[in-house]
Structure 1
Amino acid sequence: MPVKVADPEPGAPDSDQNTPKTAGKRRFTRAWLLRLAAAAVAGYGYQLSFAPRPLWWLAPIAFAVLALVLRGRTFRGGFGYGFVFGVVFFLTQLLWLQDFLGRDFGPWPWLGLSLVLALYFGLAGWLITVVSRLPLAPLWGALVFVGLETPRAWFPLGGFPWGRVAFSQPEGAFLPLASIGGAPLVGLAVVLTGFGLAALVARLWTERKARPLVAPAVFTVVPVVAGLALWPTIGTAAQDGSLTVAAVQGNAPDIGIALEGQRYVLRDNHLAESAKLLGQIQSGQVPKPDLLLWPETATSYEGDDPGIDQMVSAYGVPAIIGALVRLPDGSAQNSAVVWDPRTGPGQRYAKQQLVPFGEYVPARSIARLVTPFVDDTRDMTTGDGSNAALSVAGTKVGVFICYETAFDYPAREATDGGAELLVVPTNNAWYGRSEMSYQQLAMSRLRAVEHGRAVVVTATSGVSAIVAPDGTITSSTGLFTADALVGRVPLRTQTTLSDRLGAWTEYGLLALAIAGVAGGFVLRFRTRRASAGRTAGEAAG
């Protein structure tokens, strides 16, 4: 006859009691690891939606997976999974930083910046769990995610908006929304579609009635339909004539930051390619341009340059020359200079949004701990925003330089200044054969639709491109090759609704996101207080 023994002490080994606990712990660990893996896969899927791949539709799917991972999570879990999503995304999105700084600085700038930016995604994951109990939760969640892109354009390092949701959409269903609300509205539409899809999948899994599916279905479908419906409204026809432009890509050696000491190579290469193009023009192989374009910092300029004077005079047309201008105080300014074939250099636009560690060094005392080059690097002088629309070739040409493409205000200021054509001089030779140049070109394509203007990207080593007002690339070059583009572009005067609304769209979405978060906290506070009241009542009863 079996002997009955006393129950073991809590925590003592016992197969009968510990088996369920162990199984539960294993299930918890397995679920946690699956969610972690799903967040990481979603982050990488989000990266794959960016150029040079035409996989724009992957972005809403990635956000759908993220939303499913965040579903029912605690604040801490929301932050953690959002952070993992962000880490995987930024480590792969910003890999080009290694081509720029890696040879001399190691992986620390790339790793550090990626981790800091991923904190924004972690914060988004946390706040999405805050609004998850509100009615229309997918909408509030999408507002939170896109709303956090605004402070990311301010901090760190003076703002780093690279990897914004809208930049994954240089083509496809969502792009026309840029003409209505710019990058913020495009980003909201993408995230809302993904979050709506996640809610729809979750409801289908748990519900069998049609009515609960209406709101998630609307959030999933309406942004796509709205974007597709707007395509016919995107104008591409000339409204004030057209202009033949020539963009010269002189090429540069692929040596990363070491290019800083070989700027003369850029000048020589661009003079050589300009001479080659001039020969083709004179022989009738290509049409004569109305405007000649050189890329960012293709030469240094200290008040006179007989070589460029001679080159522009030989063309007989005005040029916009990307130049590193030396100011009287000895500092440098990254500028686009209008060069007349008769009178020489004149009006110029100076870059307002400088590249951290490339054109100025923020937090020098901290940077000095990780690099010996800080004390040898002098900050460039920031432009004041004047002359965003340059008077040249009988029209107004808006200029924003390289890194400024990622920010909303430079292109908006140019268009507000009367620009009928947008030009983006850029020097991407620093970043090797990475995806950086393609990512930047995607931003320029978005700007074309946002402002209803043709955009000409002229790069030192590629990718240069002529972009139609609907974001279509009409011609482009390859990486690290000497080449030139000549094409006719429409001049347009009509402003888009995005131009007229300006920054109000962005700040309006941010205000709604803040209101949603406040509402989420209030709802949780009331729910917790009501629950505490019921518990107290039951205890008293």
Structure 2
Amino acid sequence: MLLGRVVAAVAGGLALYTAFPPLDWWLCAPLGIGLIVASLYRTRPRRAAWLGYLSAAVFLLPTVAWVRTIGDDVWFMLVGTESLFYAAMAALAALVFRLPAWPVWFGGLWVLMEWARSLVPIGGFPWARVAFSQGESLFTPYAALGGVPLVSFAVTLCGALLAQAVLSRRAAVVRRAVPVGLALAVPVLGLAVPRFGDEGRTVNIGIVQGNVPGRGMYALGDEPAVVLKNHANETKRLAQAVRDGKLPKPDLVVLPENSTDIDPYRDETARQIIHDSVQDVGVPTLIGAVVAIGAEHRATRSLVWDPVTGAGDYYDKQHLVPFGEYTPFKEIVLALWERASLVGRQSVAGDQPGDLKLGPVTIGAVNCYEVAYDDTVRGTVRAGGTPLVVQTNNASYAESNLPPQQLAMSKLRAVEHNRAVVTAATTGISAYVTPDGKVSWQTRELVADMNVVKVPVRTQETIATRVGALPEWALMVMGAAAVGVAAWRGRRRGDRMRNDG
């Protein structure tokens, strides 16, 4: 019996991994969750906890294997820490399985677990949420109703219902057919979610991917000016293609995060390189710059550059990458890990949404890691950002499973908010995602490339945009309440047994 549970936990974790990019076998997500449920069903909380930990570790090890670029020790520590959230959820689920309609309550618990690990520790790690395996599936439309949490709930509910049908071996065939029918109905009902039509307005956006000289932890090379020149030269190549009639004239151009690591406010050469390339293309351009803040700090900035007036409005990244852009517990970490010194000057987080006037539109600037955070993307859309522009630097993780996972997030965000998403990456994947979540154009990795894409400008808000985190809170409260009811019933049952004795 125990061996069977272990096999189900391992198989469930592996199946869940295959649902994520680059494999994208999205149907394996509910199947994997069903196997995980089977491993936990009718076992004690303590055993459920370590089975949940096991399935999470098997799932997360390959899913976040891109972290190995930093070091295998960091990879193992991240997986070990994140798996604790799944262990806690599994222990609580062992109680919830005693209740009627337990697949619903289990779905709420899963959402609660994903919320918790997106929040703590040190800013949370929202990567590998189940919804992010559903960038283009039957479950995707739920994003427009309740955002990423509702998609995770729908997938989890479907998987739990499938498990319920299999686990109810003693039930009549008709009764076992009910959860199967409900499990099939969950993704099918997603097709009934209303779609939005075009509003007739478009904008031409130039996308530049300049590439970098190095790989891995030293992707930007020893000379930061090379990265800046690569992107300036690719911008000029775009301008020449427009003059030659090979590409339509853009209304604005977008460069990636870290398209210059040299502060253009302080360095005249960097400022001149940027200004020359922007003047050549002749339209407002969004630059990804790392700029100094005082003597000891810096900011990761999305900077509007006008071909006449130069540097203008900007957005500073709000969700910073721990150990990448700043070092938590700096003194302790620097003493233990020499690699932490590569972070250098500590970044300061911004506190304003990324609505930036750029040419004829107000774009919604989202910076790399932030596309995984619901509140940041939603805040930018609510501030008037359309289309969304994701500037990203995945150079250290090129050709790993990180770039395709990040693109899947953009696909889900497009549907969630009824907004086109344009991604500019240093090394790829740069892309244009339509508001219905389809990738219309994308680059290969580790090549310099550019294009001009015609993007619809949408202003209609989805239900998810309007209601914000309310569905998530409703699902979490539902799951937590179910745990409370199950614990209360268990205590009453124990009291009765003692009184009968």
Classify the secondary structure of the residue corresponding to 2:308.
coil
Classify the secondary structure of the residue corresponding to 2:61.
helix
Aligned residue in 2 for 1:363 = 329
Residues matched between the structures, number: 494
Q: 1:527 Cα deviation (Å)?
A: 1.4
The CA distance in 2 between the partners of 1:148 and 1:262, in whole Å, is 43
Tell me, yes or no, if structure 1 residue 72 matches structure 2 residue 38.
no
Q: 1:491 Cα deviation (Å)?
A: 0.2
Question: Could you tell me which of 130, 138, 142 is aligned with 2:95?
Answer: 130
Cα contact 2:398–2:428 (8 A) shared by 1: no
Question: Could you tell me which of 201, 213, 224 is aligned with 2:187?
Answer: 224
Question: Could you tell me which of 201, 226, 229 is aligned with 2:166?
Answer: 201
Question: Could you tell me which of 244, 253, 259 is aligned with 2:213?
Answer: 253
Classify the secondary structure of the residue corresponding to 2:205.
strand
- The amino acid across from 1:226 in the alignment is L
Aligned residue in 2 for 1:16 = none
Classify the secondary structure of the residue corresponding to 2:454.
strand
The CA distance in 2 between the partners of 1:172 and 1:411, in whole Å, is 21
Aligned residue in 2 for 1:156 = 121
Deviating more after overlay: 461-470 vs 303-312: 303-312
Q: 1:515 Cα deviation (Å)?
A: 0.8
Aligned residue in 2 for 1:339 = 305
Tell me, yes or no, if structure 1 residue 492 matches structure 2 residue 458.
yes
Aligned residue in 1 for 2:232 = 271
Question: Could you tell me which of 68, 71, 81 is aligned with 1:98?
Answer: 68
**C-alpha offsets along residues 329-356 of structure 1, whole Å, 9 cap, x if unaligned?**
4521001011111111100000000001
- The amino acid across from 2:212 in the alignment is A
Quickly say closer, same or farther: Cα 1:236–1:362, change in 2 above 3 A. Answer: farther
Classify the secondary structure of the residue corresponding to 1:463.
coil
TM-score (norm 1): 0.89
The CA distance in 1 between the partners of 2:113 and 2:445, in whole Å, is 33
The CA distance in 1 between the partners of 2:143 and 2:223, in whole Å, is 39
Question: Could you tell me which of 395, 401, 414 is aligned with 1:448?
Answer: 414
Quickly say closer, same or farther: Cα 1:88–1:211, change in 2 above 3 A. Answer: closer
The CA distance in 2 between the partners of 1:516 and 1:366, in whole Å, is 41
Q: 1:33 Cα deviation (Å)?
A: 2.3
Tell me, yes or no, if structure 1 residue 322 matches structure 2 residue 288.
yes
The CA distance in 2 between the partners of 1:512 and 1:325, in whole Å, is 45
Cα contact 1:457–1:466 (8 A) shared by 2: yes
Aligned residue in 1 for 2:20 = 50
Deviating more after overlay: 124-133 vs 260-269: 260-269
Cα contact 2:238–2:451 (8 A) shared by 1: no
Classify the secondary structure of the residue corresponding to 2:391.
strand
Stretches of structure 1 that go unaligned for 5 or more consecutive residues are: 1-30, 537-541
RMSD (Å) for aligned C-alpha atoms: 1.5
Quickly say closer, same or farther: Cα 1:236–1:267, change in 2 above 3 A. Answer: farther
Tell me, yes or no, if structure 1 residue 530 matches structure 2 residue 472.
no
Aligned residue in 1 for 2:379 = 413
Q: 1:236 Cα deviation (Å)?
A: 4.8
Cα contact 1:475–1:485 (8 A) shared by 2: no
Classify the secondary structure of the residue corresponding to 1:78.
helix
Deviating more after overlay: 452-461 vs 251-260: 251-260
Aligned residue in 2 for 1:378 = 345
The CA distance in 2 between the partners of 1:185 and 1:251, in whole Å, is 37
Classify the secondary structure of the residue corresponding to 1:400.
strand
The CA distance in 1 between the partners of 2:12 and 2:206, in whole Å, is 41
The CA distance in 2 between the partners of 1:321 and 1:375, in whole Å, is 26
Question: Could you tell me which of 497, 513, 518 is aligned with 2:484?
Answer: 518
Q: 1:419 Cα deviation (Å)?
A: 1.5
Q: Choose 1 or 2 for highest CA Rg.
A: 1
Deviating more after overlay: 312-321 vs 184-193: 312-321
The CA distance in 2 between the partners of 1:297 and 1:211, in whole Å, is 57
Q: 1:97 Cα deviation (Å)?
A: 0.9
The CA distance in 2 between the partners of 1:275 and 1:98, in whole Å, is 35
Tell me, yes or no, if structure 1 residue 86 matches structure 2 residue 47.
no
Q: 1:254 Cα deviation (Å)?
A: 4.4
Quickly say closer, same or farther: Cα 1:243–1:81, change in 2 above 3 A. Answer: same
Cα contact 1:138–1:219 (8 A) shared by 2: no
The CA distance in 2 between the partners of 1:374 and 1:251, in whole Å, is 25
Q: 1:485 Cα deviation (Å)?
A: 2.5
The CA distance in 1 between the partners of 2:190 and 2:197, in whole Å, is 17
Quickly say closer, same or farther: Cα 1:236–1:403, change in 2 above 3 A. Answer: farther
